[in-house]
């Protein structure tokens, strides 16, 4: 049931909530299959960052980010980018970092 509730919350941001109710009631968790094989999703190996002011103009007010601060080197990785690529390899504060979602 928890999986169904989580799916309902995530899908409601993309699809009309009334339509997903019928769809989710028809999904059997046992029928969910993994369709991507190893290395099917491309990681971001050399991320590019915007200056705060520029990023603020391009992002939605409540857009979620995953924040990382190592040795006062601060980064914000947008969740919508992580949802597509799922991993970003970066150097933060002189340390290698793998950012995943």
pLDDT tens sequence across 11-24: 555 555 555 556 66
pLDDT at 97: 94
Residue 95, token pair as written in the block: 């340390």
Distance between CA 96 and CA 74 in Å, rounded? 14
pTM score: 0.57
Asked if pLDDT for residue 101 goes beyond 90, the answer is no
pLDDT tens sequence across 46-81: 888 888 778 777 777 788 889 999 999 999 898 888
């Amino acid at each position: 049931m928890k999986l169904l509730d989580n799916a309902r919350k995530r899908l409601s941001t993309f699809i009309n909530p009334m339509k997903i109710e019928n769809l989710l009631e028809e999904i059997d968790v046992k029928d969910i299959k993994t369709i991507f094989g190893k290395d099917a999703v491309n990681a971001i190996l050399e991320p590019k960052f915007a200056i705060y002011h520029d990023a603020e103009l391009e992002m939605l007010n409540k857009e979620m980010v995953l924040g990382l601060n190592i040795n006062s080197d601060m980064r914000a990785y947008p969740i919508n980018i992580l949802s597509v690529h799922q991993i970003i390899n970066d150097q933060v504060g002189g340390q290698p970092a793998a950012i995943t979602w």
